[in-house]
Amino acid sequence: MRVDCDSKNSKGAVFVVKVGERFLKLNTDDLRHVEFRSFSDDAHGHVTCGQRQPENSVVVAYVAAAEPRPKVDGLIKSVEFVPADFKLKP
């Protein structure tokens, strides 16, 4: 849904991803540590700070936080932009 940039660390960010009715907050200390791929024609341009316009369907890989913290759910590793009708198969 959006990327909140860290004002203290110019390279850090928190990705806010909606999963059903829940929101995950996934952080990185440097955007260069996140792998981006696109499998969708509607995901173009650069990933920048702020609200995604339009919001894109994504598959994210992350490492869950060892201890639950109210501000961050985990460390983001990759973001794959997928078509809106994409479904993961179990």
pLDDT, tens digit (0-9, with 9 covering 90-100), for 39-88: 987 776 678 888 887 788 999 999 998 886 668 999 999 999 999 899 88
Domain span at residue 46 reads 2-82
Is residue 6 scored above 90 in pLDDT? no
Residue 42 counted as domain residue: yes
CB atoms within 10 A of CB 8: 5
| Count of structural domains within the chain | 1
Give a yes or no: residue 87 inside a domain.
no
Establish if 31 belongs to a structural domain: yes
In a domain, 90, yes or no: no
The per-residue pLDDT for 69 is 64
Q: Which pLDDT value is given to residue 24?
A: 94
Residue 22 lies in a domain: yes
Cβ atoms < 10 Å from Cβ of 83: 13
Among 9-13, 23-27, 37-41, 58-62, name the one with the lowest average pLDDT: 9-13
For residue 72, is it within any domain?
A: yes
Q: Is residue 9 part of a domain?
A: yes
Residue 88 is assigned to a structural domain of this protein: no
pLDDT of residue 11: 81
For residue 35, which of 3, 79, 4, 75 has the smallest C-alpha distance? 79
Structure tokens at 31: 């955007």
